Every structure is written in C-alpha cells, then in structure tokens.
C-alpha cells in the first residue's frame, strides 16, 4: 500500500491542475490557468467551471504524458472535493469519479487547504512535526498547527477577506490589474513602505480581519483624490510599498504570537501570497531572530496545483482512506479540531 502511482486533479478555483505521484515523487505537475478573469477583474465562477470542463481532459493527458505513465499503471485517482467554487469542484470531481469507475481504482478525496499545508513535503527540505503553517492565498488565510500529516489544528483564520483578497482589492482601488498581489509586490520595490500607514484591525486570538483595512485604504484614497486627482498616480510606488507592509506586518503579528505561545521550532508559509517578497523576508527574519527553521514550498507548489493534492493522496492511500463514488463537494472550510468554523 505504500508507494502508489496516483493521478490527482485540482479544479477548486480558476486553475485546472493534474499531477502524477509515483514512488513518493511528483513526476508531473500541469497547471492550466484562465486568462478571462484577469480581464474581468476577478474570478467569475460560471466562466471558471466552463473552462475547467474544456481543460480537464487536456491537463490529465498532459500530466500522464509528461510523467511517462499510462492509465493502466494508476493505483488511485485523487481529486479536490472542497473548499472552493461549487461548479468548478463538480467538474473535477465528476471527471475523477468517472475515471475511477472506468479503471476500477479507488477514489481519494482531498481537502484543498490540507493540500496547501502539506505541499511543504514535496521536495528535498521539509519541516519536522509539529510545525506551524501560515496559509495565505486568494481565498484563505489560516494559521495551522500541523501535528502530523492530516492532523491539522486551525489556530486562527480570517473572519472575512483573505490576505490575497486584501492585495487584490487594494490593487483594484489603485487601478492595478487582477491579480493585484504580484503587481503590488513589483511596484513596492521602488516605493517607501513608511510613506502611509493603516491601523491594524483588532480581532481576538489568532484570527484576522482584512475587510476593514481595505475600506480604510479606499476612504484614504478617496479623501486624497479630492485634494489631488492624480494622487494615486503620483504616489503609486509608495502606496504599494505601504499597503504591502501593512498586510505583511499584520500577518506577522498573529504569526509571532502563535510561534511564541506554542514553542514553535519549524515554521512554514504556503499559498499564493507566500510569493510575496516582503512577507518572505519577514518570516526569514523571524526565523533568524528566534532560531527557528523556516520553509516555503517551491512557487509551483504554493499556487494552486495538483501536485499538492497528489501529495495528500499519497498519505491517504497509505491509510486506505478512500472515498465512495457518492461523495459530494463542499464550498466552505471544514471545521478542524474543535476550532470554530469561520
Ligand atoms: O494560492 P493561489 O494561487 O490561489 C488561491 O487559492 O487563491 O493564490 C492567489 C493569490 C492572489 O490573491 C494573488 O494576488 C496572490 O496570491 N499573490 C500575491 C503574490 N503572488 C500571488 N500576493 C502578494 N504578493 C505576491 N507576490
Ligand atoms: Zn488555493
């Protein structure tokens, strides 16, 4: 049961992914993005599911070709069954069920957030258990204490927008294209992070809130534009640097609390926002100051991808955790270890 060959499919949001895991190694990791959302300023669920429908077969074929694996060699089919956009999840799930049925192989259902966290175990350098993971993406912001694979306790989470959304919505307020995170990161390099400051929201425990911050930015920009209609254009780099610092420092406040309270020795960041250069720098600095080992998965495993789904499926296969063909997708986060479902 230990070194299976697994095809994994990911379609929870706007990236269609397929990957092959074999003998514990990722042999291929195909991600097909969707450009339409870029032009429309955000993910449009109906368009996303239709595009998955067009791409899922191509992604799977490509993953098999790149891995030099044929269908007959597969031991199981894995798929993301939540959280995510319902229509998008249904495409991947229906495809995976059909394939599992046709090949008479087990189906493995994988939680997308577990996969982001366990992406740390793809590649040569992995954290030791227990480790703390700051999961930051366009849809999720969580502080997760990982005691062992699939034994994850969510210590805190956002009560409204995700950190990636704060980047994206902030960028939109400044007239930058979607997704705004990479744009802000790029422009911030020429800006002064101390030029403008925004107060951190007060939220209990390890939880976060980003929607008030975004509103504060919006009102600030509107007020400044009443004085100078070119305020954004004239201060764009400083605005980006200050906004990036605000989000990064706010994320670090709760992260540092959790590190201290839980005596953390191994710390990781995962999800698309883990690409942010300021956040990465802050996490590495914290590691140096506190003598903590820090980890960031390779970028292709931080953004949405099927390799991370395959990685989790490998653990589940070892424990014979298979899903019935009647399994349904879910759109919201699963509550983990008695922590409230936010
Ligand atoms: O994990 P991901 O690819 O998809 C989701 O599951 O959401 O994350 C996408 C998010 C977007 O909000 C994007 O703006 C953000 O990650 N992002 C960044 C950077 N690169 C991607 N945010 C800040 N700085 C970056 N360099
Ligand atoms: Zn994701």
Nearest CA to ligand 1 atom 24: 276
Write phi, then psi, for 193 (nearest 5 degrees).
Answer: -70, -15
Return the ligand 1 atom nearest residue 171 CA. Answer: 14
Look at residue 40 in the predicted model and tell me its pLDDT. Answer: 74
The best mutation among 32, 112, 137, 301 to test binding of ligand 1, ranked by most ligand atoms within 8 Å of the C-beta, falls on 137
The best mutation among 31, 273, 278 to test binding of ligand 1, ranked by most ligand atoms within 8 Å of the C-beta, falls on 273
Band (336; pLDDT cuts 50, 70, 90): low
Q: What is the DSSP letter of 104?
A: T
Total residue length of the chain: 342
What SS3 class is residue 129?
coil
- Whole-number Cα distances in Å, 67 to 54, 62, 122, 123, 256: 22, 8, 16, 16, 40
The best mutation among 29, 136, 167 to test binding of ligand 1, ranked by most ligand atoms within 8 Å of the C-beta, falls on 167
Look at residue 36 in the predicted model and tell me its pLDDT. Answer: 74
- Is the preceding omega at residue 179 within 30 degrees of 0, hence cis? yes
Whether the CB of 193 sits within 6 Å of ligand 1: no
Calpha distance 299→302 (Å, rounded): 5
Assess whether pLDDT exceeds 60 at residue 97. yes
In the reported structure, the alpha carbon of residue 3 is separated from the centroid of ligand 1 by a whole-number distance in angstroms of 32
Assess whether pLDDT exceeds 80 at residue 339. no
In the reported structure, the alpha carbon of residue 46 is separated from the centroid of ligand 2 by a whole-number distance in angstroms of 18
Question: What pTM did the predictor assign?
Answer: 0.92
Whether the CB of 10 sits within 6 Å of ligand 1: no
Nearest CA to ligand 1 atom 8: 272
Whether the CB of 212 sits within 6 Å of ligand 1: no
Assess whether pLDDT exceeds 70 at residue 338. no
**Mean pLDDT in residue range 7-29:** 96
In 10 A of CB 83, how many CB atoms? 20
- Whole-number Cα distances in Å, 96 to 51, 89, 111, 162, 225: 16, 11, 15, 29, 51
Whether the CB of 33 sits within 6 Å of ligand 1: no
In the reported structure, the alpha carbon of residue 228 is separated from the centroid of ligand 2 by a whole-number distance in angstroms of 38
In the reported structure, the alpha carbon of residue 274 is separated from the centroid of ligand 1 by a whole-number distance in angstroms of 8
pLDDT digits (tens, 9 = 90+) for 261-279: 999 999 999 999 999 999 9
pLDDT digits (tens, 9 = 90+) for 25-77: 999 999 998 777 777 777 888 899 999 999 999 999 999 999 999 999 999 99
Nearest CA to ligand 1 atom 20: 182
Look at residue 333 in the predicted model and tell me its pLDDT. Answer: 78
């Amino acid at each position: 049961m230990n070194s299976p060959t697994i095809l994994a499919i990911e379609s929870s949001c706007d990236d269609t992914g397929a990957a092959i895991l074999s003998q514990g190694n990722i042999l291929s990791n195909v991600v097909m993005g969707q450009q339409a959302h870029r032009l429309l300023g955000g993910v449009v669920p109906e368009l996303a599911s239709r595009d998955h429908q067009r791409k899922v077969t191509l992604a799977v074929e490509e993953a098999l070709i790149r891995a030099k694996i044929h269908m007959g060699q597969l031991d199981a089919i894995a798929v993301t069954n939540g959280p995510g956009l319902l229509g998008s999840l249904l495409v991947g799930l229906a495809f995976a069920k059909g394939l599992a049925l046709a090949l008479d192989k087990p189906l493995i259902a994988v939680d997308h957030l577990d996969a982001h966290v366990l992406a740390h175990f793809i590649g040569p350098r992995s954290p030791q258990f227990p480790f703390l993971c700051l999961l930051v993406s366009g849809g999720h912001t969580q502080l997760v204490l990982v005691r062992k694979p699939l034994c994850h306790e969510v210590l805190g989470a956002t009560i409204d927008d995700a950190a990636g959304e704060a980047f994206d919505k902030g960028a939109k307020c400044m007239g930058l294209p979607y997704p705004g995170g990479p744009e802000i990161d790029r422009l911030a390099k020429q800006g002064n992070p101390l030029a403008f400051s925004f107060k951190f929201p007060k939220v209990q425990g390890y939880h976060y809130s980003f929607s008030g911050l975004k509103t504060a930015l919006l009102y600030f920009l509107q007020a400044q534009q009443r004085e100078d209609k070119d305020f954004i254009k004239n201060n764009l780099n400083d605005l980006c640097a200050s906004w990036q610092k605000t989000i990064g420092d706010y994320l670090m406040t709760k992260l540092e609390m959790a590190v201290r309270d839980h005596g953390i020795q191994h710390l990781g960041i995962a999800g698309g926002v883990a690409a942010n250069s300021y956040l990465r720098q802050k996490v590495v600095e914290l590691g140096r100051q506190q003598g903590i080992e820090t980890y960031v998965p390779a970028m292709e495993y931080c953004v949405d991808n099927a390799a991370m789904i395959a990685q989790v499926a490998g653990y589940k296969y070892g424990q014979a955790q298979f899903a019935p063909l009647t399994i349904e997708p879910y759109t919201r986060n699963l509550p983990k270890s008695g922590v409230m479902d936010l």
